[in-house]
C-alpha cells in the first residue's frame, strides 16, 4: 500500500531586526561598505507587523487564501492589500518577532539564549496565549537578566545580539571559545532554524489529526548544519526540534540537498512508511537567517519594501494508507542524475517528462506542477524574473515538442497547470513543498487527480561539485476506491467510506479552529 499525506503545516516568523543584523547581504555590507547608502536606507524599507499581515503571498502561505485567488491579484502584490489580515491560518500561523524571540529561548537547551528581564515580562503572557504553544514550552522561558549584562556579553564575550524595534533585548552566546562551528553567529543561525522547525512541526502534526506521541520519525531538511569542529554538520536538527515540540515517541535524522532537500526528504519519508519501517513520519524544515534581505539592495534601489523579512517553515506528515488521503506514488519519480547535465531542457526533461514517459503518461495527465514557487515580488526586481513562470514555459515547450499539446495551447496550459509563486526566498522553502497542503485538499475535494512536486538544488554552491540536482514525485488521488471495486466492494460502500473519512477530517479542522 502506498503511503499518504495526512496533513501539512506552514509557518512564517516576521523578524525585521534579523534582516539588519543577521542576513548575509547586510552583514557583508557592514564589512565592505559600512557607511554606504544601502545600510542607511534599509531601515525605512522594513515592513511593520500590519504590513506583513495584509500581504497576499503571506496569507496564501498559511492557507487563508488560495493560489487561484492569488493569480487574480495584479502584480506587484504589495500594491493590493489582502482583505484577510489574520495571523492564524488554515495551515499554520505568522508569528511576530517578540514571540519568536521567546520561542528561540524555549528551544535552547544549553543556556545560550539570554533575554532582558523587562522584555520577558512584557511579552511572556502574549507568547503563552499562542494556541500552538503549550505549557511545556512556556515553562522553558526564563525570567531574564539585566540588560547591562546582555550588553556586556555582546561587547566583551562575542555574543550575537537579539534586537526588537531596534533595541537590544537579548543575545545568543558562543558555545565554545575557539570552535568556529559553535560560535555565537552559528549558534544563532541554528537555534533560529530549530525554533521555526518546532513551530512548523506542531502545526503539521495538529493539521494531520495526530497526537504528538503518534509521530515515530522526523526528517529535517533545512539548509543549516549543526555540529562541532570534529563533526561539522554531523548533528541532528530533527530530533532536537522533536524534543521541544513534544514528539516523545519520535526518533529522527537530517537530510540535506540544498533547495531540493525537501523533495528528497519526502521521498525518503514515503519510502520508510511504505516499507513498514515507521507508521508516521514528519518531514520538517525551519527558516534560514542568511537569506533574510538577500535581495534587499534591489528592493531598496527600486523604492520597494524589503520583502525578505520572513523566516519560513513547513511540515508534511506522511502516514499509512487510510483509503482516503492522497498517495505519494514512488513509481513515478523524476531524477536529476550525474549524467543529466545542467542544460535547462535536460533538467526539466529528467524531472518532468522522463518519469511520465516511463509510466505511459502525458504532460497533460498532471493537473498541477509545483516547481520553485518563489514570490515574483521578490525575484523580479532582482533580475531573476518570475521563476515559476519560467519553469512552466519550459514544461509547456516540452509538452509541445512531445505532441501532448499544440503550440497555440501553451498559454492555456501554463494557466491551467501552473501556479503563481507565493513562497519566501528561504532557499529550500519554495522548492515544490508550499503547494502540498493545497494539493492534498484539492485532490480530496476532487478538483484535481495528480500533482507533481519538483525540487531543484544548486549543489555547486558547496564547492564540492559543479553538478545541479533535482528530484520530483507525484501526489495522486487515493487508489483504494479502484482496489475496492476490483475486490467487489460496491460504489456506494466506497462513497460511504470516503464520506466518513471526510467527516472525520472536517471535525479535526473544526477542533483546531476552536
Region 113-132: what's the mean pLDDT?
98
Residue 427: predicted pLDDT: 85
Which CA distances in Å does 312 have to 69, 226, 405, 407, 439?
21, 19, 36, 37, 19
Lowest mean pLDDT among 156-165, 276-285, 382-391, 499-508: 499-508
Residue 129: predicted pLDDT: 98
Residue 234: predicted pLDDT: 87
Distance CA 487, CA 375 (A): 46
Q: By the 8 A CB rule, do 59 and 67 touch?
A: no
Domain ranges of the chain: 4-319, 327-491
Say whether pLDDT at 503 is over 80.
Answer: no
Residue 221: predicted pLDDT: 97
Say whether pLDDT at 356 is over 60.
Answer: yes
Say whether pLDDT at 491 is over 60.
Answer: no
Region 431-436: what's the mean pLDDT?
96
266-282, pLDDT tens digit by residue? Answer: 999 999 999 999 999 99
Region 73-94: what's the mean pLDDT?
98
Residue 105: predicted pLDDT: 98
Is residue 315 within a helix (H) or strand (E), and if so which, with residue range? Answer: strand 310-319
Neighbours of 183 (CB within 10 A): 20
φ, ψ of residue 479 in degrees (nearest 5): -90, 5
Distance CA 297, CA 396 (A): 33
Is residue 273 within a helix (H) or strand (E), and if so which, with residue range? Answer: helix 261-275
pLDDT band at 504 (very low <50, low <70, confident <90, very high): low
283-322, pLDDT tens digit by residue? Answer: 999 999 999 999 999 999 999 999 999 999 999 999 999 9
Neighbours of 480 (CB within 10 A): 22
Region 425-448: what's the mean pLDDT?
95
pLDDT band at 480 (very low <50, low <70, confident <90, very high): confident
Q: Where are the beta strands (DSSP E) in 241-309?
A: 251-254, 280-285
Strand order across the beta sheet in which 167-172 lies: 113-115, 167-172, 160-164
Q: In the chain, what percentage of residues exceed pLDDT 90?
A: 90
Say whether pLDDT at 474 is over 80.
Answer: yes
CATH topology of domain 327-491: Peroxisomal Thiolase; Chain A, domain 1 (3.40.47)
Region 172-197: what's the mean pLDDT?
97
Residue 487: predicted pLDDT: 59
Lowest mean pLDDT among 289-298, 349-358, 453-462: 453-462
Say whether pLDDT at 493 is over 90.
Answer: no
Say whether pLDDT at 11 is over 90.
Answer: yes
Distance CA 355, CA 335 (A): 8
pLDDT band at 52 (very low <50, low <70, confident <90, very high): very high
Enter the pTM of the model: 0.93
pLDDT band at 342 (very low <50, low <70, confident <90, very high): confident
Q: Which of 431, 14, 194 is nearest to 186 (CA)?
A: 194
Is residue 299 within a helix (H) or strand (E), and if so which, with residue range? Answer: helix 296-301
User: Between 434 and 232, where is the model more confident?
Assistant: 434
Which CA distances in Å does 10 have to 62, 85, 269, 495?
5, 16, 18, 30
Region 219-227: what's the mean pLDDT?
95
Burial class, 365, CB count within 10 angstroms (exposed 0-12 / middle 13-18 / buried 19+)? middle
Average predicted confidence (pLDDT) for the chain: 94
Say whether pLDDT at 257 is over 90.
Answer: yes
As beta bridge partners, residue 93 has 11, 88
Residue 167: predicted pLDDT: 98
Residue 489: predicted pLDDT: 55
Say whether pLDDT at 209 is over 60.
Answer: yes
As beta bridge partners, residue 252 has 218
Say whether pLDDT at 500 is over 80.
Answer: no
Q: In the chain, what percentage of residues exceed pLDDT 70?
A: 93
12-34, pLDDT tens digit by residue? Answer: 999 999 999 999 999 999 999 99
Say whether pLDDT at 448 is over 70.
Answer: yes
Say whether pLDDT at 514 is over 60.
Answer: no
Amino acid at each position: 500500500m502506498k503511503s499518504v499525506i495526512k496533513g501539512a503545516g506552514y509557518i512564517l516568523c516576521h523578524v525585521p531586526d534579523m534582516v539588519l543584523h543577521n542576513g548575509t547581504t547586510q552583514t557583508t555590507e557592514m564589512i565592505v561598505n559600512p557607511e554606504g547608502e544601502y545600510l542607511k536606507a534599509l531601515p525605512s524599507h522594513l515592513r511593520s507587523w500590519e504590513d506583513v499581515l495584509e500581504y497576499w503571498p503571506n496569507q496564501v502561505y498559511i492557507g487563508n487564501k488560495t493560489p487561484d485567488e492569488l493569480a487574480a491579484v495584479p502584480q506587484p502584490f504589495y500594491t493590493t492589500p489582502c482583505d484577510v489580515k489574520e495571523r492564524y491560518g488554515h495551515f499554520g500561523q505568522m508569528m511576530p518577532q517578540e514571540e519568536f524571540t521567546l520561542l528561540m529561548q524555549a528551544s535552547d537547551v544549553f543556556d545560550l539564549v539570554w533575554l532582558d528581564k523587562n522584555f520577558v515580562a512584557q511579552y511572556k503572557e502574549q507568547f503563552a496565549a499562542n494556541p500552538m504553544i503549550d505549557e511545556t514550552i512556556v515553562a522553558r522561558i526564563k525570567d531574564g537578566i539585566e540588560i547591562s549584562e546582555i550588553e556586556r556579553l555582546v561587547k566583551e564575550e562575542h555574543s550575537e545580539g537579539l534586537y526588537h524595534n531596534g533595541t537590544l533585548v537579548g543575545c545568543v552566546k558562543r558555545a565554545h571559545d575557539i570552535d568556529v562551528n559553535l560560535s555565537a553567529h552559528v549558534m544563532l543561525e541554528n537555534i533560529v532554524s530549530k525554533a521555526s522547525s518546532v513551530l512548523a512541526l506542531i502545526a503539521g502534526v495538529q493539521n494531520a489529526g495526530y497526537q504528538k506521541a503518534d509521530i515515530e520519525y522526523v526528517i529535517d531538511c533545512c539548509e543549516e548544519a549543526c555540529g562541532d569542529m570534529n563533526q561539522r554538520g554531523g548533528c541532528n536538527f530533527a530530533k532536537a526540534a522533536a524534543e521541544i515540540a513534544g514528539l516523545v515517541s519520535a526518533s529522527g535524522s537530517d537530510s540535506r540537498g540544498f533547495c531540493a532537500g525537501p523533495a528528497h526528504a519526502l521521498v525518503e519519508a514515503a519510502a520508510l512508511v511504505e516499507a513498514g519501517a515507521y507508521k508516521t513520519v514528519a518531514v520538517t524544515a525551519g527558516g534560514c537567517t542568511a537569506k533574510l534581505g538577500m535581495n534587499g539592495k534591489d528592493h531598496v534601489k527600486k523604492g520597494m519594501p524589503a520583502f525578505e523579512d520572513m523566516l519560513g517553515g513547513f511540515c508534511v506528515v506522511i502516514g499509512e494508507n487510510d483509503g482516503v488521503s492522497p498517495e505519494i506514488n514512488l513509481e513515478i519519480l523524476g531524477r536529476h542524475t550525474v549524467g543529466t547535465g545542467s542544460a535547462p531542457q535536460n533538467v526539466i526533461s529528467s524531472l518532468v517528462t522522463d518519469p511520465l514517459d516511463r509510466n505511459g503518461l502525458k504532460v497533460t495527465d498532471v493537473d498541477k506542477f509545483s516547481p520553485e514557487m518563489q514570490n515574483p515580488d521578490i525575484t523580479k526586481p532582482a533580475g531573476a524574473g518570475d521563476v515559476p513562470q519560467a519553469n512552466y514555459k519550459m514544461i509547456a515547450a516540452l509538452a509541445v515538442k512531445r505532441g501532448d499539446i499544440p503550440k497555440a495551447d501553451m498559454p492555456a496550459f501554463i494557466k491551467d497547470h501552473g501556479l503563481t509563486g507565493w513562497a519566501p526566498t528561504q532557499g529550500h522553502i519554495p522548492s515544490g513543498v508550499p503547494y502540498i497542503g493545497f494539493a492534498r485538499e484539492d485532490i480530496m475535494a476532487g478538483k484535481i487527480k495528480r500533482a507533481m512536486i519538483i525540487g531543484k538544488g544548486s549543489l555547486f554552491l558547496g564547492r564540492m561539485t559543479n553538478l545541479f540536482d533535482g528530484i520530483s514525485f507525484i501526489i495522486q488521488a487515493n487508489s483504494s476506491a479502484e482496489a475496492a471495486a476490483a475486490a467487489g466492494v460496491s460504489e456506494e460502500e466506497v462513497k460511504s467510506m470516503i464520506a466518513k473519512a471526510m467527516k472525520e477530517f472536517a471535525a479535526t479542522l473544526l477542533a483546531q479552529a476552536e
